[in-house]
Amino acid sequence: EFLYCDLASMTSIRQFVQKFKMKKILLHVLINNAGVMMVPQRKTRDGFEEHFGLNYLGHFLLTNLLVDTLKESGSPGHSARVVTVSSATHYVAELNMDDLQSSACYSPHAAYAQSKLALVLFTYHLQRLLAAEGSHVTANVVDPGVVNTDLYKHVFWAT
């Protein structure tokens, strides 16, 4: 069975989680992999800059709404997992807390990098919280490297 979830919409995420939880099934792995890369400046339905809204806030909300289900699903020796896909571009990012929407001076690369840095920091923090409470859930962030997908369609060197 397929359940639809638009990670650029907070309403869609909440509806998805509600439907998923009603099914009363275990969740052993949550892979946060949806995203956009270097798109022109535009906003999500909720009014967030698209990189930040979809790449970071969508995954942040989805993970936080499902963490209790992950905790219920994990067991000693069989931890549930959150796997968040990021990018090496987070190394060159600056998290501008005064302009998370990248509205002052929009750069698609900077907005993408900032969203990936936010994901890395969130995942590190989540792992520390989960470990401190002794839960059977791990949070990991990975960089898959360059992968041939449509993610690069807005990148000048990929055309």
- Per this entry, what is the length of the chain? 159
Compute CA distances 144 → 19, 52, 73, 91, 134, whole Å: 30, 20, 26, 15, 28
Tokens 């970071």 identify what position? 56
Q: Tell me, yes or no, if 152 is annotated catalytic.
A: no
Choosing from 56, 91, 106, 112, which is the catalytic residue? 112
Using CA atoms of 140, 143, 144, 150 in order, give the dihedral in degrees to the nearest 10: 110
Tokens 């896909």 identify what position? 85
Report the catalytic residues: 112
